[in-house]
Amino acid sequence: MKKKILKKTTKLMFLFFSIFFGFFVLFNLIGFLYAFITPKIDIKSANAFSVYDNKGALVFQGNGNDSWVDLKNCNSNIVDATISVEDKNFYKHWGFDYLRIAKAMVVNISSGGIRQGASSITQQYAKNLFLDFEQSWKRKWKEMWLTYELEAHYSKDEILEGYLNTINYGHGMYGISNASKYYFGKDVKNLSLAEASILAGIPNSPSNYSPVDNYKLSKERQKVVLSRMYNNKYITKQEMDNAYNEQLVFKNEEFGTGLSSLIYYNDAVMSELNEIGTIPSSYLDTGNIKIYTTLDLDAQNALESGLKKNAVNKKSETAKVMMNPNDGSILGLIGGINYGNSQFNRAINSYRQPGSTVKPFLYYKALENGFTPSTSFFSKETNFYFDKKQVYSPKNYGNIYANKEISLAAAIAYSDNIYAVKTHLFLGEEELYDTLRSVGITSKLEKSPSLALGTYEVGMVEMTAAYAALANGGKPVYPHMIRKVVDKKGNVLYEYKEKPLKIILDSDITFIVSELLTGTYDSNLIDYTYPTCISMTSSITNKYAIKTGSTDTDSWVIGYTPDIVFTSWAGYDDSSNIPSEVIAGNKNSWVTSMESYFKKRDASWYDVPKDVVGVLVNPITGNVVRSSNENKKILYYLKGTEPMLSEVNSVDKQKEIFNKS
């Protein structure tokens, strides 16, 4: 009985695989037949685009760039190394290595994860012939059909040549000619076996296998490349050993931007390009365009510096956006820690809870409705009761409470949640909601008690743009990266034009909010607890407005000057709870980047508006300072709302106390 069942099962499996194989063969035949009858694409002009920074310097090129090198001018070392490590059967298959695909499926299924890839050189080249980097089934289908077309219309040598001229070698270097110049300062035809085997190992994971960033890993990868070259009989064992032991000299300082994170910026530029409705689709499909962006290489360098110097662990992720608050131009952007490991661009595609970073907008509205920096509430653990017996019980970070009256200035420095919810409910839930909408938050929000604590998910770019309205004195901005797009003949296809905007926030009040946000790292506010950014104080040499937002799953730091607004987020993609070191690392990363950016330029600050007055007060109580041994800080008030000076606390007495401190 068992033998009959086994025999029947075997027959059914054989029939299933026969039918599957039949459909598979038929599908591929149709694919190749379709490819033969379609027009031949020009692989040297497809995806031929150039990206320029805000100074007009070329920072990125797609296919068809001036550094294109013919295969005959590439020495055999780089050709043999690339084929050995990427696709040893390249000259034997028709675009898809089916045996390799089957093997990879078995390995990945048995291991329960992605352990082995099976993309051929033709498939990888097809992927490079797109202007965008989106990951979708639609794109996968395009790549598959383009693979058929490449194999139908071009020789293997032409395909390999195209691949070598478009593949990513890390640090913004696309194409073997650029990579050879960047890493070794020499022409491709002069690469040694050791140099070629290092370069051939990079495209599998540019960030991990860059010899500049990870020399040890790049040598391990080189060993894999050389051993496969030896197994495929391209080199002898002696040549393999000599190449591995050869001392390499890198010239990476002499060519290109050297920014591995730049690909995230380019990714975001392409996303914006695809959303511009005035550019004909033919240009987006074939390229041949020049894209002039708002990229500031100093800003991008500063972001990358902050990322590299404060890496916490490989599991956590990050996103960073640096913007000019006066016009919404995005100067720098990073969408993740390692593009080689994850192409998901969190800066433009991720939505997370902003936490307490919404509070400056709450307190702006409070100041507009009669509050002052000295307005106090009793802060203690509190249950808020609503209709239908609903209870809302917010907690302070670390369950630390003042258990006394504290001022608005102290509440923003400590990020006190009880004070925030009391303010929110006192004003009415619609006030904060309307304010967030007015500064450009378009994500889903609800009028609820928890809105004051940032419990609704928002995007990083829109949150940065919202803070821009605080930084520029009340004007909303439209975030953008593209200034102009022109075709190969110089015709302007698109040009960004600033839109006339209505002032939405009062500049006097935004000044007061900006000054209050300097209290987050001011030691004069140390009392029953510490200001949220006190750990950053020793690293800060300029005046910034800073606000943090920490939830169980997200860490935000947003800060600004009149010239820059900068957002840094850290967390896990699966929304796991974040440990304290991720929060600390994100704070350090923010201040490292901001200080790095201002090394080459002065950091400005705001002039005191004529209708605003400064008073030396105890920032925790909000009362006028009476002695030099009190906590003290100059807080700013709309004229007529400031704490009154008594005879004991005359202006002269205030100056005396201030000078003593």
Annotated catalytic residue 356: yes
Helix (H, G, I), strand (E, B) or coil at 554: strand
Higher pLDDT, 166 or 535: 535
Residue 651: pLDDT band with limits 50, 70, 90? very low
Greatest mean pLDDT range, 52-66, 280-294, 336-350, 443-457: 443-457
Least confident of 64-78, 197-211, 239-253, 494-508: 64-78
pLDDT band at 2 (very low <50, low <70, confident <90, very high): low
Catalytic residue (choose from 86, 151, 195, 462): 86
| Three state DSSP letters for 346-391 | HHHHCEECCHHHHHHHHHHHHHHCCCCCCCEEEECCCCEECHHHCE
Residue 564: which of 539, 594, 591, 586 has the closest Cα?
594
Q: What is the Cα gyration radius of the chain?
A: 30
- Report yes or no: 534 and 595 within 8 Å, Cβ to Cβ: no
pLDDT at 165: 86
In angstroms, the CA 652 to CA 640 distance is: 19
CB 464 within 8 A of CB 558: yes
Long-range contacts of 497-505 (CB under 8 A, 24+ apart): 498/327, 501/475, 501/476, 501/477, 502/476, 503/473, 503/474, 503/475, 504/438, 504/439, 504/469, 504/474, 504/475, 504/476, 505/364, 505/438, 505/439, 505/469, 505/470, 505/473, 505/474, 505/475
Considering 205, 329, 356, 596, which one is annotated as catalytic? 356
pLDDT of 553 strictly over 80: yes
CA separation for the pair 284, 288 (Å, rounded): 9
Q: What pLDDT was estimated at residue 66?
A: 59
Q: What pLDDT shows up at residue 170? A: 78
Q: Please give the residue that has the higher pLDDT: either 1 or 274.
A: 274
Average pLDDT for 643-648:
63
* Strand pairing class (565-571; 330-334): unpaired
Question: pLDDT for 314-363, tens place per residue?
Answer: 689 999 999 999 999 999 999 998 876 787 899 999 999 999 999 999 99
Lowest mean pLDDT among 48-52, 57-61, 289-293, 651-655: 651-655
Active site residue 647: no
Dump pLDDT digits (tens) for 554-577: 999 999 999 999 999 999 999 999
Region 427-447: what's the mean pLDDT?
95
Domain at 68-258: CATH code:
1.10.3810.10
Q: What confidence score (pLDDT) does residue 558 get?
A: 98
Q: Which fold has domain 331-597?
A: Beta-lactamase (3.40.710)
With a pLDDT cut of 70, the percent of the chain lying above it is 81
